[in-house]
Structure 1
Amino acid sequence: MEIGQDQYPHYESVIAAARKAGPVAVALAHPCDAYALEAALDAARLGLIEPILVGPGERIRSAAEAARLDIAALPLVDTEHSHASAARAVQLVREGKAAALMKGSLHTDELMAAVVAADTGLRTARRLSHCFVMEVPGRSAPLIITDAAINIAPTLNEKADIVQNAIDLAHVLEFGEVRVAILAAVETVSAKMPSTIDAAALCKMADRGQITGAVLDGPLAMDNAIDPGAAAIKHLVSDVAGRANVLVAPDLEAGNMLAKSLTFMAGAAAAGIVLGARVPLILTSRADSVAARLASCAVAVLVARRKLDGARILGG
């Protein structure tokens, strides 16, 4: 199953690397509709994941039958309802039976509640955050945008974790030099705009070794973060300005609007993943293209493999 090398060359590379690494077991929480089942089956057929269906067995089988999907070969763990599905999927991870989680047809907050539960969840010392790995037409490399789905109005310390999660993901995807732009509406620090103060503080945290693995700059407006001409007009001289490959939004609303604008107005594809837990979480949307769904699974496989064995995957 090819997703279109001409249209999605970066995703093709990520998927190829994940296939080479080998599939990982994925606990699919509450896949009670055709969309969730199709997403899992497509990824399984491509050799990316080994899905474990977790949810009400009768509902899952009925949904598969109605959509003419063959799930006979997939293991199914029966649960009573969506909350139980989320809890059992998390438990499978804790038992070592799954190396990643995937959202089915339940609400994101239901799955996240099970993930962050104090005694039974999958939390680590790191704040959970969401990353979009964007395939943007005309760009020579993929672009990471964070956080567009989890942290509504993150504090400075939470932003530090959000940045570090994105940097770690960029290294798994072997971006080479990771160049992080801390976005704001302007490129100057202003007491009237708290996002610019946070941006400056994050850059200083990187200078002091509190954030590692990348070059940071900010505050940067969107244009002078990604466009060399715009950066030159503003006389911005840095390794990041005009060349950023990781964009950190000031809050969820800005990040979500940025990612969706690229998707629906610029023809980009967005592969989504949640980081910071013991295992990666695959979050897909009904509006996602097949390419984005498969790339989400592939990114999760690479992250899971890195956690499992620390192997260098991309680039042989």
Structure 2
Amino acid sequence: MKSIMVEGRKSYNAAGIDTIFAKYGVIGAFLLISILFSFYSDKFFMVSNLVNILNQSSLLIIASLGMAVVLLVGGIDLSIGANISCTALISYLMIAQGRGTLISILAALLAGILFGLFNAYIINKWRVLPLVATLATSFIIESIQFIVTNGGACISATRTPRSYDFIANGKVGVIPFILILTLIIICIYYLLINRSIYGRYFYAVGANPETAFLTGINIRYMRGLAYVISSVTASLTGVIFASRIGFLQPRLGDGFSLDTIAVGFLSATMFIKRPNVAGVIIGSIIIITINNMLTLANASEYLQEIMKGIILIIAVAVSSTNQRYKN
């Protein structure tokens, strides 16, 4: 009897260690790498550099929250980068034409809604795989950018409203407004995913569509809603992106597609083994911090892309392993 109890206790302890590693292994590895890198560069833990990392992370957090919702319903959105580029272009074009801040934001959000509805329609109505559908949408959106700019010309405004500049560059006291805006969006997504019936429906559709259908959930509506939410969030990111850089040309935001996918799968390796708000925040900070490390190390931009690819492979592999372990 004692041997059985000892063996049971050992297996329980082993399972507990595996669970802790599965939930917090990525975070632990990231903290270890950060500490080791601080010995290489004394600038890494400087307050100015940490604030810069948070500022840079804000855009990726916002865009990745939309991707997380799509991943929850079992989909993927490859059009996020093109969406951000195009809506940023539309927003800044409105500013360049003197339309004002409110009009420029509304125009970008309207474009985002249309892109999301288009994704939802071809996925639900035509039964096109999300991977193919959103990739096709990204090609269409990229073409729209070149049409709008007459072949890719750079758009700049002689003067931008203070309210528009304030979105990405303003401060409330000593706190950058972009961090406050990001915190508000994080809270909205937390309530949507964790405290609303829509969040439970998203989880149900992604976990088992057949069971969700039998319980009365409208599968097509929830999937379509996820893509619209993702697209609108991407368009909001586009507005902030345009406000930050102060000029626009096609495809400037294309890099967000790979980054948001990596963050989405990274979030699924932390805490609850599926995309979640806390995981998105940490995953975004990890991606931006690694870019920051490589910049401080004077590494080439191509090496940064290689590292993103490696992170994506690891995140998908760990997420798949966690899912098999869960099943």
TM-score, structure 1 normalization: 0.29
Q: Which has the higher helix share?
A: 2
Larger radius of gyration: 2
| Larger fraction in strand | 1
TM-score by length of 2: 0.28
